[in-house]
A = this chain, B = another copy of it.
Amino acid sequence: MRDYQLYLIDLDGTIYRGNETIASGVRFVKRLVDQKKDYLFLTNNTTRTPEMVVAKLKTHGITTDIAHVYTPSMATAEYLLHHCQNHDSKISVYIIGQVGLWKEILERPEFIYDEQNPDYVIVGMDTDLTYQKVRVATRAIRAGAVFIGTNADLNLPLGDELIPGNGSQCAMIAAASGQNPMYIGKPEAIIVDMALKRVGTKKEDALIVGDNYNTDIKAGFNSGVDQLLTLTGVTTKEEIKNLKQPTLIVENLDEYQL
């Protein structure tokens, strides 16, 4: 087994399940810290700011800092800054999302909020989504704005319920605008590439750790990073038996030897 230097760790289903702590996940992070391995929490959740992620992790017994958190909101901001580096004026954006998305974008001086004629329409999970917001996004995309979805998750687990996720929101805007979004979050390679770039680690030295085959494991396939599937969340061994297998599978993260 390779001696990985950087662990890209999912949160929901891996470290906690809603408000419930997954103890093996927490012990895994503590072992990483003890053995001076680097890690980055790589979540698809855009509703929380990095500070809110750190505070939530604290309630599950993990002490960390915002330098160890990477979200699609951050990846979106950095992607656009990189992509528009020759941009003379500010990058105008219309945003559908919650605080974790719009704070990340709009606190950077390079961006300006524009409902009328934005360069980009950025769409993330928004439990206050309204018809009017979709209408504004549709009009902007039809007028030429580039449509970016932070992540493609069709559903999110909330207790026993599968609530609509950002991929479902984007499906409405795609139908109304006639344009499909470019997605940033897992399973896209973009967010993994940007996380590696941020830390300065080569992909051969990294391992993606998560419970969701369709986001975490596929992000590894798409980016060429090894994957560790933990069966503590949504994916079961049975449902992936005929699919391309992850590098490693464990019942829970206590099984994984550093």
Chain A residues within CB distance 8 Å of chain B: 126-132, 134-135, 138-139, 142, 154-155, 161-165, 167-169, 171-176, 178
Contact = CB atoms under 8 A, between A and B. Distances in A.
Contacts of A132: 127
Contact of A131 (B127, B162, B171): B127
Contact of A139 (B129, B139, B142, B161): B161
A129 B128 contact: no
- Count the copies: 2
Q: Pick the most buried of A142, A163, A171, A175: most chain B CB atoms within 10 A of its CB.
A: A175
Contact of A171 (B129, B161, B171): B171
Secondary structure type dominating chain A contacts? helix
- Which 4 A-B pairs have CB atoms at the shortest separation, nearest pair first? A172-B172, A164-B176, A168-B176, A171-B175
18 contacts: A126-B131, A127-B132, A129-B130, A131-B169, A135-B163, A138-B163, A138-B164, A138-B168, A154-B178, A155-B176, A163-B176, A164-B173, A168-B175, A168-B176, A171-B171, A171-B174, A171-B175, A172-B172
A167 to B, nearest CB: 6
Given A127-B132, A131-B164, A138-B163, 17 more contacts: A128-B130, A128-B131, A129-B131, A130-B131, A134-B164, A135-B163, A139-B163, A154-B175, A154-B176, A154-B178, A164-B173, A165-B176, A168-B173, A168-B175, A169-B172, A171-B171, A171-B174
Nearest to A155: B176
Contact of A167 (B139, B173, B175): B175
A154 B177 CA distance: 9
Nearest to A154: B175
Q: Pick the most buried of A127, A129, A162, A176: most chain B CB atoms within 10 A of its CB.
A: A176
A142 to B, nearest CB: 6
A190 B138 CA distance: 30
Contacts of A155: 176
Given A128-B131, A129-B131, A130-B130, A172 B162 contact: no
Contacts of A161: 139
Nearest to A142: B162
A181 to B, nearest CB: 12
